[in-house]
Structure 1
């Protein structure tokens, strides 16, 4: 069935008494049905606000409240001057002791972009992890993973300067993070700890991830060690909550590519 026709069908159902559930939330519910069923496909542009308001028989203000909530939750994505789109497909990440987050995206269309690399005073987390003195510098890197035109992951990494002495040269010639590890004489490392928790997008993160301020995120805090158990990297990352499926693996690093489990639901 055509998306507009299905939306029209959903919109034609009589509203419940607004004292039971506000009209804008009932519209939110119906749009959610269209998203979960695939009627509004991932990457698809929604009809304009005027058309949707007419379809649902409400004012633009009421309609916008429903759309705004879906945007805050990360299901919809507003592109300034273009319109509102269904967020890009969920990306699967492999969480494995010997695999970096940035190298573990189970999606051939994903592209890692190193946004910046500078020397700066270590954060409190890096001072503790690296046993540094206050004010000592680290290599601070910002990177992103992009699928198509959609950013799905941001990371702020810190590396020991005394270990990664050639990192600036590696990045300047277009090398990857793993190239920097290799240049430092570290053929293999271990992700010693990863913590994942929920939070909300700041204004800066919302702009970079193309979500609304306050959209739910998953944040990670992790650190890597070399084979001598020396901490050499501290990493803080975040994803839009509806854009990621985390796959925890304890066996070979490619176990997630042939999982015996059903994939996670597209949305919940």
Structure 2
């Protein structure tokens, strides 16, 4: 593919525009792997630095993604993860025709402190069950989460989550058939090395972090959670809570 050398448009920009055209006309489909830098250099008759700059422009616009050790791919549509008064992981994904999968990495007994203790109404040092999970959708890692429960009320909750593959189903074993999200706090930051490794993403990509508190229908705290979302695959949508109905 020949480029116009004296057009007044930089060569890297021409390469970028050519690739954008292939994305818009369907020549390159979501999930397709792009040719290597060397192949693109030969195709356009430019050096690899020029190709690299063109690809960086596409990546900045979230049109492509670079997976270390695998290559460069056309970005697929991101998952819209809804946070509302009744946030449920599996239902969130199934509503969008996605296939959810959750895996428990480990279950530990910790001592409550800081935000977790205050949110759950525990004294510092009280026993806490911590369930660490990863969640996938359609073969992509989307979350790395910690679910913290008061150990006195929920002994064995970790094994229940492992068996059921669902926090909601596990809570049913303890008589909590319904619950609601009392509050959520969202931030964005760069991941730690461990977070990037577990989320299978580069450390140069930010993560979205949600801290949240779930309560039972009597208003008693049951779970404090910290979820890191892979921002390559997830956008968080905050939905308004339904107004409380007046009591009669």
Determine if contact 1:166/1:180 at 8 Å carries over to the other structure: no
Determine if contact 2:180/2:215 at 8 Å carries over to the other structure: yes
Deviation at 1:28, TM superposition (A): 5.5
Tell whether 2:59 aligns with 1:76. no
Instruction: Say which of 82, 106, 126 aligns to 1:94.
Output: 82
**Cα 1:241/1:188, change in 2 over 3 Å:** same
Deviation at 1:95, TM superposition (A): 2.2
Instruction: Say which of 40, 47, 56 aligns to 2:28.
Output: 40
Distance 1:194 1:13 in 2: 52
Deviation at 1:97, TM superposition (A): 0.8
Instruction: Say which of 30, 36, 47 aligns to 1:59.
Output: 47
Tell whether 2:204 aligns with 1:214. yes
Q: What are the superposed Cα offsets for residues 206-236 of structure 1, whole Å, 9 maximum, x if unpaired?
A: 3333332221332222111112222221112
Partner SS state of residue 104, structure 1:
helix
Q: Which residue pairs with 1:265 in the alignment?
A: none
Q: Which has the larger displacement, 56-65 or 163-172?
A: 56-65
Q: What are the superposed Cα offsets for residues 111-161 of structure 1, whole Å, 9 maximum, x if unpaired?
A: 222222222233522022123333333121222221232112222221111
Deviation at 1:26, TM superposition (A): 6.7
Distance 2:55 2:109 in 1: 42
Q: Which residue pairs with 2:229 in the alignment?
A: 239
TM-score in terms of structure 2 length: 0.77
Distance 1:210 1:13 in 2: 39
Q: Which residue pairs with 1:153 in the alignment?
A: 143
Unaligned residue ranges in structure 2 (runs of 5+)? 243-248
Residues 55-204 of structure 1 correspond to what in structure 2 (within 5 A)?
55-67=43-55, 75-78=64-67, 80=69, 82-101=70-89, 103-105=91-93, 106-122=96-112, 124-204=114-194
What is the Cα-based RMSD across aligned positions, in Å? Answer: 3.2
Q: What are the superposed Cα offsets for residues 229-248 of structure 1, whole Å, 9 maximum, x if unpaired?
A: 22221112222334224444
Distance 2:211 2:14 in 1: 37
Distance 1:69 1:120 in 2: 45
Q: Which has the larger displacement, 98-107 or 69-78?
A: 69-78
Determine if contact 1:138/1:158 at 8 Å carries over to the other structure: yes
Distance 1:153 1:182 in 2: 23
TM-score in terms of structure 1 length: 0.73
Q: What are the superposed Cα offsets for residues 141-189 of structure 1, whole Å, 9 maximum, x if unpaired?
A: 2222212321122222211112221313313534421122111211111
Distance 1:28 1:160 in 2: 53
Partner SS state of residue 173, structure 1:
helix
